[in-house]
Structure 1
Amino acid sequence: MARKILGAAATAFATFACAADDVPTVSPVGVKSALESEYIGLLPGESFRMRTGKCSDCTVPKQSLWYFETEPIAVPGTKASVSGFSPGVDRKTDVRNWAPQAGKLDHPSVVWIGAPSILEGAIMLPGAQRVRTSAGAELDIKLVPKIPTNLSYANGDTAAWLSGREVRIRGALERANGKDVFVARTIWPSDFAFQPATLPSKPLQKQSDLAAFVREPIKDARGIETRLLWERNPGQPRDWKQKPVLGFILNGAQGDDDESLGGHFAVATGRIGARGEWSNWAVNNFYNLDSFSEKGIVAATLPMDNYLMDLNSGQQYYRPSVMLVAVLNNTRTAAAFQGGVQRVFNHFYRHDFQYRHASANCAGISVDVFDALGWNIPKRGPTAPVKSLAAYAYVAAKDGSLQSGRKIYDYLNEEQTRLLPAVAFEAMGLDLLQLVGASGAVQRALSPYEQQLGSDVEAIFLVRIPQVPSSRATGSAPVFSFDEFRARVPEDQKDWKIVPVEPRPFPDTLRDPSSVAEEEPSPIPMPIAGIGIGACGLLGTFIVWRRRKKPQALATHGASKQGELVH
């Protein structure tokens, strides 16, 4: 049932994506193949082929294809080099061993492309049911169906927000009632483009300013807000056309899901377009593969416009976001991350490791890739190691579940830059500013990758991306601590707003015997077990001591009674 639900939104596209050249031969002006004259991150679109997960001629791991059975995907072309992985080793070791040989960027096994066609340069007409193409003709627009499990969808507010704007739409061209209809899956406002020449300069005055930017109250906005934090050559023209980038994306808290208050984190790579475009950057998005997202999200590398503006799964339809962008003068540091994270995805799809909300979530997996490359992001330490012992006992007893106790224990003991997206975002941003010399010298010996980052970054700026108006509740800033999370949710977990999801079991037939067996964490953590063993040892010692003392006490007690009897 869940797979049918997930496939519902892709029905309009599946038949178009089954072969490489299935875009209609005669198309309205502005409609092109999703791979034509396009980039997917740092790689040219023409080096990929359009397929679905059912393709029979894809030379990529079958585990990667399984998750996209009905979804349009881009796979490496026949002459393209493909990212590999090292079976039998864990993901961090794999990236660490590969990093010294990192050079030319290989292709990811799978890109979740979403739709076979792109409509560019069109003006959205009132009601969001028609557009005026760049040739001046009108073209009917139909929105892809809402996934049944999705809590909300585009509405009149969305149409008003888009009205009159130039848009870039990913979708599929259909023929209905004798005329063309473009079925829209992703709608991206073209005015989201960066304007480097007029970017306002406002450096951080103190380290807390970065968190303050994230926490600023949400305001209604039609466009993005930018703020330049640092540039290598102030006063010189900012010619950023085709400059490579590293983008650090922090998505906020949802307004209708208490489990989402931590927000979400992803890292993007790509190039700034000639007109400041960034919709085709490659975003590396980690989500739980073992359940069906109610919005149809699948963990994947995907274009930025799909990540933010997909009508069902786009982050901006259910929360606001911020992004920190490092403009680079060399592709090597961005390509190294992209190459490394592609290897991690190969492990992830094979189930060599699992998504874990404490130890291997969207932030933790991304931080681990940088760590393996050599970026030693300063750690903040765990939240409350001592309190975790009492929290484990309390939650395990309250819920009647050792697993529940283990979860709270893991949350309180995990390094905060790996646990919380907002903390990861802040730590990376602040350290990046130090690496370029914008906020004092770094107080550590730098690795080769850190030295490259310090010399390759040309500018650093912030972007605030508004939530798209829709029927969904307005989101907010993500939490920066576990205590803040507890303060923002109802005290009784039964009162939390939670969206239930269906499990997605990974088929045993796709498991590889060469995979490193990831050990499931014990329901009883080692420190708790150690305390238990120690307590048992003390109790045993006490019992032995009591038993040894007992005969002596009895003898003394008997002598006393005998004396009393003599008197």
Structure 2
Amino acid sequence: MRTFLPGIILAGITAQAGATSIHSALGSENFGLQSASQFRLADGHCDGCGQKQALWYFQDEVIALPSASATDAPGLVWVGSPQLVPQARFDGEFLHTADGSTLNLRLAPKIATNRSYFNASSEAFFRQREVRVRGQLDEKSGQFVARTIWPSDFVIDSGPPLQPLAGDDNLQGFVRHANGGARSGYAVRKVWQRPGAASPALAGKPVLAIVLSGAQGDDDEAFGGHFAIATGKLGQKGEWSDWLVNNFYNLDSFSEKGIVASAVPMDNYLMDLNSGQQYYRPSYMLVAVLDDARTAQAFQGKVNQVYREFYAHHFSYKHAADNCAGISVDVLRKLGWQWPFQGPTNRLKALGAFAYMGAKEMSFASGRKAYEYFTEEQTRLHPAVAFDALGRDLLAMLVGDPGRELSGFEQQLKSDVAAVMLVRIPQVPSSRAFGSAPAYSIDEFMARAPADRSKWQVVPTEPRPFPEALMDAQARANMRSSAWPVAGVLALLGAIGTAWSWRRRQRLRAEMAHPERLRA
């Protein structure tokens, strides 16, 4: 577990060393739909402060914990830094703040496993633009040590004209534009607003946002992209940096970029210097702007419960069956959003994949993972397919053509949506290769990867075993359930072996995904 800075300041800080422009991470802030004033800063060493399994993952990280009076609040928010500079201009060396102060800026260090980092091109991206910066004042040097730099001109307002999607001008086209838009400009497009209504004023309105990130440019195992759902409220000028992103990652391995699954502020999610999505790929959002917060509150309340189960290891992250997309959309499905399923990729190939990978790697687990990729529902497997399916279904509901009788949750969602906005967010230039649009299928994924697997760029990760002392009976049962019965596996392998020839297995090899390849 990495440490951001020694001597983390955990009290509410409004100003230090005369720098009145430095605020507490809790001052006049929101965590999504919640006021940050209902939280307090701590770290994972805090005894008796919350769910002990969750705290274990954040022992050396700044987190925000809800007060007893906070209702429907997440169990914790990974804030990362105790302070922020809400408004400043960056000239490459200094922050010139709104109150006329000048702060010498230093970047938080690159973590050892991160293969690229902020460089001169990143500096040029942020230079002379207004920014919002999370970090901490180093009292010894007088420097503000930045962990997250957010471009303040990234806003969503009601200004764009209505441009509905039609025909080939669709959601997938928006995502694939300019090879995913990593080098394009920031763009906002209004694709729906309530008929007969004037262009709605968006300031202060609650939102439910579907967030898709693209393929990485330097990791041949990460063409599938990433998926998350955010809640929050638009700021007075269309700001959205304080939305709360519900980010699911594998808890049982250390991310090379320092990512930990958690509810996290949007500025950290996208722009943290090490873990921010925008430092290694482009991203896209479909934003449902709401007249009433109840739909977003329902999602956030339900996903808060899922996090408790996830941290407790009552279920585990799986790259096919329970990945970032699957866990997230399952919450919507349980609430009553019944978007049409698209079915598995290919059940017949799944049998061959199981036999081939199980025999090739002498591992039932490898065979099972390969099998699950081909049999999993595609809106749970592929982040891009989930984004596309939910977006198309929402727009169909809003125009009155859903193709089914709507559930109570769907009727509520339909009645609450005031506008739908699409947002394309470019990659921040750095020493990392530019990413692209995510793959929409296993076939597309494999077509992008080198045919010779020895030439794949891969990023190895270290395991993070969950302590036995933190497991309850349900967690232990979950760990045991991860293995298939040996007798059943042997019988299945035998049946498959008699049905598939060596020639068929060789052809399959070229089109089959490795069990670990479709990770986010």
Do both share a fold (TM > 0.5)? yes
State the partner residue of 2:175.
214
Unpaired segments of 5 or more residues in structure 1? 82-105, 537-567
Deviation at 1:436, TM superposition (A): 1.1
State the partner residue of 2:311.
349
Answer with 394-403 or 272-281: which moved more: 394-403
State the partner residue of 2:61.
71
State TM-score, norm by structure 1: 0.84
Superimposed CA distance per residue, residues 43-96 of structure 1 (whole angstroms, 9 cap, x where no aligned partner): 0000000001111251x1101100000000000124334xxxxxxxxxxxxxxx
- Of 281, 291, 306, which residue of structure 1 is paired with 2:253? 291
**SS of residue matched to 1:11:** coil
Q: Structure 1 pair 535/151, CA: closer, same or farther in 2 (3 Å)?
A: closer
Superimposed CA distance per residue, residues 504-527 of structure 1 (whole angstroms, 9 cap, x where no aligned partner): 000000011255822114287969
Counterparts of 1:296 and 1:289, CA distance in 2: 11
In structure 2, give the amino acid aligned to 1:428: L
- 2:106 aligned with 1:142, yes or no? yes
In structure 1, give the amino acid aligned to 2:5: T
Contact 1:242 1:271 in 2 (8 A): yes
Counterparts of 2:485 and 2:170, CA distance in 1: 40
Q: Structure 1 pair 229/286, CA: closer, same or farther in 2 (3 Å)?
A: same
Superimposed CA distance per residue, residues 312-363 of structure 1 (whole angstroms, 9 cap, x where no aligned partner): 0000000001110000011111000000000000000000010000000000
Q: Structure 1 pair 234/153, CA: closer, same or farther in 2 (3 Å)?
A: farther
Unpaired segments of 5 or more residues in structure 2? 499-520
State the partner residue of 2:302.
340
Q: Structure 1 pair 453/234, CA: closer, same or farther in 2 (3 Å)?
A: same
Counterparts of 1:535 and 1:487, CA distance in 2: 27
Q: Structure 1 pair 535/472, CA: closer, same or farther in 2 (3 Å)?
A: closer
- 2:405 aligned with 1:441, yes or no? no
State the partner residue of 2:440.
480
- 2:156 aligned with 1:203, yes or no? no
In structure 2, give the amino acid aligned to 1:443: G
Counterparts of 2:339 and 2:489, CA distance in 1: 27
- 2:46 aligned with 1:55, yes or no? yes
Q: Structure 1 pair 217/482, CA: closer, same or farther in 2 (3 Å)?
A: same
Deviation at 1:220, TM superposition (A): 6.2
Q: Which portions of structure 1, spanning 4 or more consecutive aligned residues, are displaced by more than 6 angstroms?
A: 523-528, 533-536
Answer with 228-237 or 21-30: which moved more: 21-30
Superimposed CA distance per residue, residues 486-506 of structure 1 (whole angstroms, 9 cap, x where no aligned partner): 111122333221101111000
Q: Structure 1 pair 195/21, CA: closer, same or farther in 2 (3 Å)?
A: closer
State TM-score, norm by structure 2: 0.91
Deviation at 1:395, TM superposition (A): 2.5
**SS of residue matched to 2:301:** helix
State how 1:47-446 maps to structure 2 within 5 Å: 47-58=38-49, 60-81=50-71, 106-125=72-91, 128-177=92-141, 180-196=142-158, 198-206=159-167, 209-218=170-179, 219=181, 223-233=185-195, 236-437=198-399, 441-446=401-406
Contact 1:201 1:228 in 2 (8 A): yes
- 2:417 aligned with 1:451, yes or no? no
**SS of residue matched to 1:479:** coil
Counterparts of 1:22 and 1:502, CA distance in 2: 36
Deviation at 1:287, TM superposition (A): 0.1
Counterparts of 1:528 and 1:490, CA distance in 2: 32
Q: Structure 1 pair 222/406, CA: closer, same or farther in 2 (3 Å)?
A: closer
Counterparts of 1:468 and 1:234, CA distance in 2: 39
Q: Structure 1 pair 401/494, CA: closer, same or farther in 2 (3 Å)?
A: farther
Counterparts of 2:345 and 2:333, CA distance in 1: 20
**SS of residue matched to 1:69:** coil
Q: Structure 1 pair 534/459, CA: closer, same or farther in 2 (3 Å)?
A: closer
Superimposed CA distance per residue, residues 175-203 of structure 1 (whole angstroms, 9 cap, x where no aligned partner): 234xx31110000011001231x213221
Answer with 328-337 or 231-240: which moved more: 231-240
In structure 2, give the amino acid aligned to 1:238: P
Contact 2:352 2:496 in 1 (8 A): no
State the partner residue of 1:11.
5
Contact 2:245 2:269 in 1 (8 A): yes
Which protein shows a greater Rg? 1
Give RMSD over aligned pairs. 2.1
Deviation at 1:305, TM superposition (A): 0.1
State the partner residue of 2:510.
none
User: Percent identity among equivalent residues?
Assistant: 52
Q: Which of the two has greater helix per residue? A: 1
Contact 1:200 1:226 in 2 (8 A): no
**SS of residue matched to 2:237:** coil
Answer with 230-239 or 133-142: which moved more: 230-239
Deviation at 1:234, TM superposition (A): 5.0
Counterparts of 1:15 and 1:23, CA distance in 2: 15
Contact 1:389 1:528 in 2 (8 A): no
Contact 2:182 2:436 in 1 (8 A): no
Q: Structure 1 pair 143/452, CA: closer, same or farther in 2 (3 Å)?
A: same
Contact 1:16 1:23 in 2 (8 A): no
Deviation at 1:21, TM superposition (A): 2.7
Superimposed CA distance per residue, residues 399-419 of structure 1 (whole angstroms, 9 cap, x where no aligned partner): 333322221111000000000
Deviation at 1:257, TM superposition (A): 0.5
**SS of residue matched to 1:217:** helix
